[in-house]
Amino acid sequence: MQFIYVLAGWEGSAVDSRVLRDALFRNGFSVPQGFFAPYRGQKYHLSEFNPHNQPSTAQEFFNMKHSQARNVIESAFGILKARWEILRGRSFYPIKTQGRIITACCLLHNHIRRVMVVDPIDEIEDQNILGVDGETIHHIETSDAWGRWRDQLAQEMWNQWRRRHHAR
């Protein structure tokens, strides 16, 4: 629930891939290996999954886990905006100042998350999202290898879940 990289200055309506491409060309930013997009044409949103409607394929299971991780990210932004009123409304500061304000709020948010035993604004139970150690991605390119790797990871996750789920 902490921010590891802040790139302030883009409009909220900017396409994610364009912002990512910009971040990759700046110094100091890299995407951890194992960063995958969800499968298209498969169930994705957590509301589509429930005890009576479990994932039925490896791709659906992967998408469910991807959606859970995305919810944690959205929660971090929600807590950030709840904590700092200046981030909730329209700003009339110059763009450069706005970027500095956003960065300062993120830094203070991270400091609070590290120092306070109980964060009064945090209504979310601690969630542990494990990162992937290893190499990093420094550029974006289309590759069948990434698709095959995602498929293999999804299948392994699915098989492990099915073994645990059906063992009950």
User: CA nearest 132: which of 6, 1, 61, 35?
Assistant: 35
Q: Where are the beta strands (DSSP E) in 74-167?
A: 136-137
Give the mean model confidence (pLDDT) for residues 55-64: 88
pLDDT at 140 over 80: no
CA-CA-CA-CA torsion sign (34, 35, 39, 45): positive
The pLDDT tens digits of the residues spanning 65-122 come to: 888 888 888 888 888 998 899 998 888 999 899 999 999 999 999 999 898 877 777 6
The pLDDT, as a whole number, for residue 99 is: 92
Instruction: Provide the residue ranges of all domains of the chain, joining segments of one domain with +.
Output: 16-166
The pLDDT, as a whole number, for residue 14 is: 83
Q: What average pLDDT does the chain have?
A: 79
CA-CA-CA-CA torsion sign (70, 71, 75, 77): positive
Least reliable range by pLDDT among 7-21, 46-60, 95-109, 140-154: 140-154
The pLDDT, as a whole number, for residue 136 is: 46
pLDDT at 153 over 80: yes
The pLDDT, as a whole number, for residue 118 is: 79
List Cα–Cα distances, 44 to 1, 8, 69, 125, 142, in angstroms.
22, 28, 12, 23, 22
pLDDT at 134 over 50: no
Phi, psi angles (nearest 5°) of residue 29: -115, 130
